[in-house]
Amino acid sequence: MAVKHAVSPLAPKTTPTLPRIAGVKLAAAQSGVRYKDRDDVMLAVVPAGATIAGVLTRSKCSSAPVDWCRKNLARGKVRAIVVNAGNANAFTGKLGDKAVEESTRAIAQALGCPRNEVFMASTGVIGQPLDWEKIAAVVPAMIKSAREDSWSAAAGAIMTTDTFPKLATRQAKIGERTVTINGFLKGSGMIAPDMATMLAFVFTDAKVPGAVLQKLVADAADKSLNCVTVDGDTSTSDTLLMVATGAARHAPIEEADDPVLVDFKRALDEVLIDLAQLLARDGEGATKFVTINVGGASSNGAARKIGLSVANSPLVKTAIAGEDANWGRIVMAVGKSGERADRDKLKISIGGVKITDGGQVVPNYDETPVAKHIKGTDIVIDIDLGIGRGRATVWTCDLTHGYIDINGSYRS
């Protein structure tokens, strides 16, 4: 039985309505794998000839669906993606492999396509065998009911402790042609991606070869989904898959650095950044959304590592939850990151108010405006290392007792 949680106070006021993408059909169904009286399986069916790329968790205890995706992504071909919520099918041994085999076989047979063109992702409790027969039982009805406008239903079906569905869309120009990029994802806890995120699915009508799509997706993930954290824990199931149907009639694309892709890259970055921020806004028990801007680092990678060190610090996150403007905890987190830092060059600001300079607190520092900022729901921390040109932005949330409440009852 799913434990219901109030919608996050940081949830957006409106949910975008995603436009149709020719040939992409989606469906949701109630399989009863774990939850009762709610959709818990999503199916996306795409046209023959569609390409796929993805980024997967680096966890050494990855799930059976992740292993299946990793095995078949290099081929770059896809006809369907199936996702279930409530059971991660992770640490389930040969039974887990069997569940993936039979689930994908049921869809492949129904569509008349090779099984290695059916991708799978699962999310939920670790260590419990997945009853694939319940998924296979709903496949025929899902294929029959799949529609081009079922984005919201699909996004809702893959949620676990999420309190709202997460969707984003953008349009871009490739030459004179306009293409669409739609994406949705789930994630609320166990969020410290070491690749992408929990489960994210992106679709476009652009015609992009698999190898080029792979480079685009990996680069975009590094600027978005690899820059968000809720609790510092990397999931066994993290999966980002992107499908290009090729329906748009634009000039052929052969290289990821083709100038014609500049606007497409911008749109893809924006979709994934939107989704990454929604993860932090739905962090388990979150009451504050935190943006950490890091500049002046020795490299972009160093800046991101420093940002994540601050974002993952329980002391920083609980101070923000308690509305305590304790900037010393930020200094601590910068210092423990392992990246280059110079005490006398480090500048820290909160809410636009400079706090440190020259190796100490600024003269006549007044905490009043900082304390007021910390009492809001959107917190901004700026860190300047003063030693290079590396930059990164990281997103996170505060750490409250609500996180304990949710995860203490997760299996109930």
Nearest residue to 52 (alpha-carbon basis) of 78, 25, 80? 78
Rg of the chain (C-alpha set): 22
- Is 176 known as a binding-site position? no
Rounded distance between C-alpha atoms, residue 182 and residue 272, angstroms = 10
- Is 197 known as a binding-site position? yes
Q: What is the DSSP letter of 253?
A: -
Taken in order 282, 66, 148, 36, is the CA torsion positive or negative?
negative
* Active centre residues (catalytic): 197
Residue 268 carries which side chain, given as an amino acid letter?
L
Rounded distance between C-alpha atoms, residue 50 and residue 256, angstroms = 17
- Is 160 known as a binding-site position? yes
* Strand ranges in 282-371 using DSSP code E only, listed in sequence order: 289-297, 347-350, 353-354, 356-357, 360-361
- Is 298 known as a binding-site position? no
Question: What φ, ψ does residue 322 adopt, rounded to 5°?
Answer: -85, 5
Q: CB neighbours (10 Å) of residue 361?
A: 15
pLDDT at 6: 87
Q: Residues 272-303: pLDDT tens digits?
A: 999 999 999 998 889 999 999 999 999 999 99
- Is 117 known as a binding-site position? no
Q: Residues 197-242: pLDDT tens digits?
A: 469 999 999 999 999 999 999 999 999 998 998 766 667 788 999 9
pLDDT at 48: 97
pLDDT at 234: 67
For the chain, 412 residues long, the average pLDDT of each consecutive 10-residue run is 72 96 97 94 98 91 94 97 96 96 98 98 93 98 98 96 95 97 86 60 98 97 90 77 97 94 98 95 92 98 96 96 97 96 97 96 96 98 98 95 75 56
* Domains parsed from the chain with CATH numbers: 25-281 (3.60.70.12), 289-408 (3.10.20.340)
- At residue 289, the 3 state secondary structure works out as strand
* Residues 86/125, Cβ–Cβ less than 8 Å: yes
Tokens at 119, concatenated: 């991708």
- At residue 186, the 3 state secondary structure works out as strand
Predicted TM-score of the model (pTM): 0.93
Nearest residue to 34 (alpha-carbon basis) of 126, 104, 163, 141? 126
Q: What is the DSSP letter of 148?
A: T
Taken in order 27, 113, 268, 260, is the CA torsion positive or negative?
negative
Q: What is the DSSP letter of 55?
A: E
How far does CA 349 lie from the centroid of its chain? Answer: 28
